[in-house]
Amino acid sequence: MEEEEGGGGGSEEAALLGQHRREKKELQAKIQSMKNSVPKNDKKRRKQLNEDVAKLESELEERHKLELLSLSQKQSTDTEEKKAALEKERDERIAEAEIENLSGARHVESQKLSLILSQRQLQIRHIPSDGHCMYRAIEHQLKERNNNVTLTSLRHQTADYMQSHADDFLPFLTNSTTGEMYTQDEYEKYCTEVANTPAWGGQLELRALSHILQTPIEVIQADTSPIIIGEEYSSTPITVIYMRHAYGLGEHYNSVEPLIVTPAE
């Protein structure tokens, strides 16, 4: 039964909790032995016994709290170190992809987009590739309209809207392993990730944002006509750019800004 008390597949937290349970049992056995050694009619020794028991229980509880806190801090540090390592690896892959794409698909796509935008007196406003790119592009567009809504707010509003309108979004999400439509639990997890992680945003999230902002969102692409999401709204569209080959690591969104013409020398 010792293995069951450790539990949790050998995780540090499960092992520590198992140890705490054993120590509590051992203390209770010790307390029972102490009680058996003191006559019930000896009030003075009984009083002292109760004080000793309370002290032992308090000390054990405090030590357990400190051990759990120490473990939690250690796990937090480990998580941050892993996150930093993953971010470093991603940056290195982006740098490699930058070199590979100088004359490849990315260059061709950028040239096409530059031409499309220049005809509208616009140019690309580059957005960092950090998982938040779609939301940052929308954030930039809104700031241009003196609407200073934050990235965090956009993510939380999107998640809240998708949770409250599950019937409009759930049918379009499938489990990549099984191919089945998301369960309610999977959908809840998806929405939580939209709100609290750098989960990449796409057309579903743009649809939610068009309803939240009550504004059309125009998505410009290199090889197809622009897509308008939220056509039912009459205000001036927010414009973002969808790129398939931005960093060689997958899809990416950028924003737009007025074209800056450099005077000829």
Taking a C-beta distance cutoff of 8 angstroms, is the pair 205, 230 a contact? no
H helical segments located in 150-235: 151-164, 166-169, 184-196, 203-213
Pick the catalytic residue from 42, 52, 91, 130.
130
Q: Is 191 a catalytic residue?
A: no
Q: Is 133 a catalytic residue?
A: yes
Run of H or E including 256? strand 252-258
Run of H or E including 229? strand 227-229
Could you tell me which residues come within 8 angstroms of residue 251 by beta carbon, excluding any fewer than 6 positions away?
200, 202, 242, 243, 244
Residue 242: closest CA among 232, 231, 228, 230: 228
What is the per-residue DSSP string for 20-34? Answer: HHHHHHHHHHHHHHH
Pick the catalytic residue from 133, 191, 211, 245.
133
d(CA 125, CA 253): 10
Could you list the active site residues?
A: 130, 133, 252
